[in-house]
Every structure is written in structure tokens, then in C-alpha cells.
Amino acid sequence: MIRKPMIFAATSDLSGKTRGKAFPADQLNKRCERGMGWVPTNVQITCFDTIADSPFGSFGDLALVPDQSADVSVDFEDGTPPERFMLSDIHTLDGKPWGFCTRSILRAALSRLKDLTGARLLAAFEHEFQFAAGSTLLHQGFGLQGHAEYSGFAETLLAALEQASLTPDSFICEYGPDQFEVTVAPEEGVKAADAAVITRELARMTARRFEQTATFTPIRDVSSVGNGVHIHMSFMGDNGPLTYDAAGSHGLSPLTASFAAGVLKYMDSILALTAPSVISYERLTPHRWSAAYNNLGLQDREASLRICPVTATEPDAIARQFNIEYRAADAAASPYLSLAAIVHAGCQGIEEELAAPQVTEEDLSLLNAEELGRKGFVRLPATLEDALERFARNDIVTGWFDPEFASVYLAHKKAEAAFLEGRDTAQKCAAYEDVY
């Protein structure tokens, strides 16, 4: 059968969906120079494909410009055409980054970090997901037989990630029913979020070839487990790692300590960006191994920010391994927007010269609001509505973005929530399962 190869120019939008346009592959050079037409109101397409109130209406034009450094081509060798897509930027017609391009938003945050500290960010996203179709086996959390049933899928996915120039790290048959976790090696800067998008999309493409549907929904069933996205971060300078200091509190360098303190201080106001679905807040509750408070934990998987363990013993090796992990995120969020919000919060902490946060070693769910406040903690928002309110009223946080960003984002998320009105929790979970 004849065919003309195409390339999909992809953007990760405010809903965390990967959208874009395809063009003939032989037009690559032209498209990388001129881009393709894009519509401003596309930013208001919700995850349910409704359109929120838009300040742009039917007016305006933009350019969707493929980035050749983010070119993905994977041949599954199954008789289907190779999968080809390029992560892209959205520009105004005069070539400037558009204020709602999530990739450009992340670049601005990373530039702030570099200008402020001289540091570059290394990051890696751990993804949990589930198969919508049931397994033939039950009770296989971390089990060999559960892994064996899906080893064909796992090996194909890891090969696809490698073809996409990523470095597979691990694949786990996770604790939940039909649940898995996939990780890739850290990447620098924007490439870390690129890797997150690529991982999600290749997992979905691979699943379809095994007659499965991979869903990254935050939670399928409130009586069971959720699916988180854990974001690991460390800092590099011209002379090596900057995250670790043996003399610092729990090994945190001054840079890392203030960065972490900033993330914790502003966490309740950025949660609407990192956990942005209605059902995200069914997962972010105590005793789900997720995140319910703005606390720093030492190897504590209930903490929203965690100091990760290292296996090395030599100082230089410890410094290379040492990292912190943000746990209050899920795949309903664009990885660019999640990482940008975290980096801005960290930079704010550095600018404010915040002291190293204390490490918690207690169950914060046992404390009332007064006791939490006395210790410097808050309960994170328990609903998307609350999270959006805290985001909207924090002028420092909204000031990190385009002047119109907050109002557009709030309208977007309120339209998403309105689509679900009248549905019970199970129906809401089912709706998001289909979307993500």
C-alpha cells in the first residue's frame, strides 16, 4: 500500500494532553523554519475536548514550530508505519515564545534558576500507569508472574524508549492491579520534560500493539491505589554536582536547602498546576503513599518532598547520586508546567534566602490545623477548587507567568470541572481513565 510518511508536531498543552498537527516528512526543513498555523483558543481545549471561555475567541494566529533536537522516530517492526513525532514550541508570528507554550514556560523557569545560581537542573520523571483491560492473574504486586505476563510489553516499551534516544532505567509490576512503573535516566533542563512526554506516548503506543490501553489517570478506583508522577531533581554546576553538602542539614547544600524550602512554602499554591484534575485530590490524601502536607521527608514516601536514598559511600559518588523528589504530581499535568512551577517555587526560596526545612519524622495526619501551623506545615488542598483558589490569590505565584496566564488557566480548569458536574466519584474516575 502506498503511503507518504508524516511527522506529528506535538505540544503538551494545559490539559496535559499531547496535541498538534502532522505534515509530510519531506517538508521538515520548511516546517522547522516557518512552523505551522496554530490557534490561540486551542489552549482552552480541556482534557474532555470541551472549550473553556477564551479571551482570544476566533482571533489570532500562532506558529507551531517543530524542534529537531526533540525528534522521535520509533519502528516497532510489526508491519505498521514507524511512529514519528517532534516536540514543538509555539511562537507568535514575530518568532517570540508564546506565553502559553508550556515548553517556553519551562525554559523561562530554568533561565531564572541559571541566572540566579549558575546551576543547571537534572530531572527524571517516574511514571505509574495501569492497563484498562484486566490481567489474567490476580494479586501480583511486584510479582514475578505479573512481570512475566507483561514482559513482552515491557521489553518492547524499553526498546522503543531506547530508539527515542532515552535511557531506560527500570520497569516494575507495581503494587496496584494491572499497575506498572517505568523510569528513564535523568535529562538536563527541558529535555527532562521532553522525556516525560515521550515516555507517556510510547507507553500508549506500545500498549495498543498488545491490545491494551495504558491509562496514566491519577486514580481509577478510590478504594485502590493511585498513579503518581514522581519528579527527581538535582543541580549541576560547571565544576560538578551542587545538590549535596556533607556539612548541610541531611546532606542538603545551601542551594538545595533554600530551593526545597521554597517548594514547600509555595506548594499549596502550585498544586493546581502539578495535580490539576478533579480526581487528583482523591489520591493526595494521608496514608496513600502520596502527599497531603507540605513537608520534607527523609526516605519517607508519605512526604510531598523527599530526600532520596543513595547507595554510594564516597563523597564524590554520593554527590552524583544525591537528589530530591517532588511527589505531589500526576500525569493530568503537562510535565513542562509541573517542572516550571516547581523550579519557580524553588527559585523563590533561594531569592528569599529561606532556611533549610526541618525533616519530618511523624505522622502529620494526627495533628490538627493549629498544631500543623505551629510546626510550619499546612494541609495541602483537598479539592481542585481549593487548589485553584490558592493559586489565584497568590500574587507571587501567578506573577511567575504571563499576565493572562492565571485567568486563562482558571477558566480552563473550571470548564473541565463543569463537564463532570452531576457525576459521582466513580463516574469521574472513569471519565479521566478514558482521557489519560
pLDDT band per the 50, 70, 90 thresholds, residue 133: confident
Say which amino acid occupies 100: F
In the chain, residues under CATH classification 3.10.20.70 are: 6-90
pLDDT band per the 50, 70, 90 thresholds, residue 11: very high
Surface-to-core class of residue 370, CB atoms within 10 Å of its CB (0-12 exposed, 13-18 middle, 19+ buried) = exposed
Say which amino acid occupies 167: T
pLDDT at 373: 86
pLDDT band per the 50, 70, 90 thresholds, residue 41: very high
**pLDDT tens per residue, range 277-319:** 999 999 999 888 889 999 999 878 889 999 998 988 898 999 9
Nearest-10 crossing angle of helices 254-274, 384-392: 120
98 contact partners, CB below 8 Å, separation of at least 6: 40, 62, 90, 91, 92, 104
Average pLDDT, the chain: 95
pLDDT at 115: 98
Give the integer Cα–Cα distance in Å for 331 and 123: 16
pLDDT at 252: 97
**pLDDT tens per residue, range 250-261:** 999 999 999 999
Q: Is the pTM of this model over 0.75?
A: yes
Mean pLDDT of 189-198: 98
Mean pLDDT of 416-429: 97
Structurally, at CATH architecture level, domain 106-435 sits in: 2-Layer Sandwich (3.30)
Enter the C-alpha cell of residue 311.
547507595
- CA-only gyration radius of the chain, Å: 21
Q: How far is CA 264 from CA 188, 192, 305, 342, 345, in A?
A: 23, 22, 8, 9, 8
In the chain, residues under CATH classification 3.30.590.10 are: 106-435
pLDDT at 95: 94
Mean pLDDT of 111-131: 97
The dotted CATH code for 6-90 is 3.10.20.70
pLDDT of residue 233 exceeding 80, the answer is: yes
